[in-house]
Structure 1
Amino acid sequence: MAIDVYKDWLGIPEGDRPPHHYDLLRLVKFEDDEEKIRAHYKKLNGHVRKYASGKYSNESQELLNELAKAMLCLTDPERKREYDESLGREFDEDEQTGPQSIEQILVEQGHITKDQAAELKQFANQRGLSTRDAAVQMRFVNPEIATQAMARSQGMPYIDLEETVPDTSILLQLPEHVAKRNTILPLFIDDNVLLVACADQPTHDLEDDLRMRYQVPSRWVLAMPRSINTGIKQFYSAAEEVEEEVPAEEAATKTKSKKEAKPAKKVEKKKPARGPAQLSPEELKEKKQLAFIFSGWAFCGAILIDQFLLKNFVFPQTWPWHFMLTTLAVPIIAFYLMSGMWKK
């Protein structure tokens, strides 16, 4: 029986599958508080990750992607409005939907005062910094809060890449060096739109490049620059390892098959010793010359040993009998050398 991840893991009652974004994130319908939306996403994300290494790893990854898509939709003002309208929500015509500056958002959230907002704007202008970077340098807020405020001011959703894993098949369609050069990270495709994490507003050339690569338009989500650079290094390495596993397994299977099908090793026959008939004329001539030389030295050596050693010191009484034995041994040695030396 197939598992119902929505009911068993998230506690969502039986009903529409997949559930709408608010039910999926366990939120009140039409919730507008971005902090609450992100908090629910973070909690559910951590819970579903517990199943990532078990037998339901595929279901876990699919649900993680669904949660991320729902969170990105509900934290994107323009998309959220469209999504809420599709669920029957009605908006007042005079309801404020215009963008706010980063300093206005930080003041509204209580991170800085109005005086600090004016100081922040002046500091950024004097040093040619973005308001986000200036707020971090002045230590008014941390990089995450500053980036979230920047995302809201630009009408973009914010994403924490520590809680989101890109789709490997989508990631590998963009070379790593291109991602590094532009500080971007492709995430996944949602409703035929490519979601891409970026550190700042992308250029038109980059948008055109991604459209040609993926054949779909792009939607941008803002992330901290450092988290994007860390994610590029981490996710590309992990994706390449996964991609190499299949060829490695195939190679191992082929190697095993070859070993099983390999015929029994042939027993090599020793080559017979080379006799006179197998020697070349030059080799045979050289062997015979060496035999003549050794025979001559054997004859001379036998005479010298007999005359100066055996005759005077060893067998003085029995000479010349031992001389006859000595001279007899010389032809035997010569015969052996002449007849058998070159056969070895």
Structure 2
Amino acid sequence: MDNHLNGRARARSLGVVVGGLPTGPLNAITDVEGVLVGHTTIDDGADLHTGVTAVVPRQLTAGRRNLPAAVYAGNGYGKLVGSTQVDELGVLESPVVLTATLSVFRAADALLTYLMGRRPDGISFNPLVGETNDGFLSDIRRRPVAERHVLDALEGASGGLPGEGCVGAGTGTTALGFKAGIGTSSRRQVVDGAPVTVGALVQANFGGVLTVRGVPMPVGELIPGARHHEQAGGSCMIVVATDAPLDARRLGRLARRAVFAMGRVGASYSNGSGDYAIAFTTAPPRLPPLPDEALNPVFAAVMDAVEEALLNSLFTATTTTGFRGRTSHAVPYDRLPGTDGRTALA
């Protein structure tokens, strides 16, 4: 399936299939029932390439005050507003909003506005907002994200195939030497006799050498002579949603696997890369959590979904020239091993 916004191809359209597990119908985080995604993109064609992405569990607007959740900081060089309360209580009280580093605080205030509007009796709220630094391609000090941008992403969230690549919080991000952005994927498993869906959404903006199914693909080999962004840091935000009945401790185990999956695509896990995963479940609270010994299939689903989401974030992104004339190049399909213009690694 091609990306429906810019015509760039998702990994599977290029023959890059991660693992043997089946995907959901959309191969997206929105395959988890009730999980919606919205974007607001800020792109002036020159100095601003940024935006907002919101992951909205509909269950939070349908009578439930919170969902079991966990956060894992693979490397805490970043800003994840609201994470300590998730750690302490093991629940998610708000949608997850992603944006640029210097806009994270305005986005958190806007998410607070959203939450207060839905709970007029509340006196305490815990908005969860993460970020990556898109300052290579966007004038990050201008902090262009306003309340309306955040509210538009939240209120416009839908259950269809989310936009990927240069949209929302991924508009100005780069990863592994190439233009990157937002990516998503999903997997389905049968666990303890019941169907389980796992979905992942990533905001990719980290260093390393692009690796596709174990094959390193340095920028210099795929785009000879191109000047590219040597990324010492940058960060990655990963959101994992599932309908499997899990408590916060077990969701923490899923979140750790999500960060581990970055290594499959060549992440350097550098000092300046804030690599975080947020995992939550939409399962009805009356269901008992899966036992630990049943989690291996769920771990496999998380690892594969995150790996493919990261590849989708790169393969769907387009070459972008931004702040101070800097350019980040899209992954060239025709230079991938085994490709014939459109089919890679088949």
TM range (shorter): under 0.3
**TM norm structure 1:** 0.24
Structure number with the higher helix fraction is 1
**TM norm structure 2:** 0.24
Pick the structure with greater CA Rg: 1
Structure number with the higher strand fraction is 2
The structure, 1 or 2, with the larger RCO (C-alpha pairs under 8 Å, 6+ apart) is 2
